[in-house]
Chains A and B, each alone.
Chain A
């Protein structure tokens, strides 16, 4: 039975490289407010979904100025983590498929449990950080759980 919707095995290494570098970059963006100047781009229209509070540079102009450091970190983390999570393992078989599905369900439960706890405990602007981390935690929890059950528990 050939598993569907999985990347070839070699994509896993590529995923690790992209994910680790993007997550490190992302943490620097979050904690140190890192911005690379060469990633500052002037786009020739007003971004409809950019509000004044988050980017005041482009108020009342016909153009918008954005720095794409955080966008690169976000997209890199998502793509990298997806490649790690959904590349075939060396011996892809029916038991591995079962473990993958179980781990995915487990990760969704744990992720939303953590989100509920954070919603109760964290309020105000700090909650924004919770949502930022929550973009990546389902995949991260899944990867940890899947490889733990595949490699450590067996």
Chain B
């Protein structure tokens, strides 16, 4: 699964730590998601999308091998 979190963060101009605080997770979690080491749960994906004011599909995208 691909995601646009890093780009969306840049648009809002917030750091990993600030995003983490807004959705009540650790900074390590945001970092792991951004570097494609961890696929977030549906709840967390919805929370992340809400912060960016977008739909989940606009932030997360399936890849060929998914």
Contacts and interface: CB of A to CB of B under 8 A. Distances in A.
- Looking at A90, A95, A96, A98, the one whose CB has the most chain B CB atoms below 10 A away is A95
Interface in B40-63: 40-41, 43-44
A154 B29 CA distance: 9
B24 A93 contact: yes
B31 A91 contact: no
Contacts of A150: 28
A94 B44 contact: yes
A146 to B, nearest CB: 12
B28 A1 contact: no
Given A1-B43, A154-B32, A95 B38 contact: yes
A121 to B, nearest CB: 36
Given A1-B43, A154-B31, A154-B32, A93 B25 contact: yes
B20 A95 contact: no
A89 interface: yes
A89 to B, nearest CB: 7
Contacts of B28: 95-96, 150-151, 154
Nearest to B43: A1
A90 B38 CA distance: 19
Nearest to B38: A95
B36 interface: no
B26 A94 contact: no
Contacts of A94: 25, 29, 40-41, 44
Nearest to A89: B26
Interface string A141-154: 00000000011001
Interface in A73-107: 89-91, 93-96, 98
Interface string B14-35: 0000001000111111011100
Given A91-B26, A91-B27, A94-B40, 7 more contacts: A93-B25, A93-B26, A95-B25, A95-B26, A95-B28, A98-B38, A154-B31
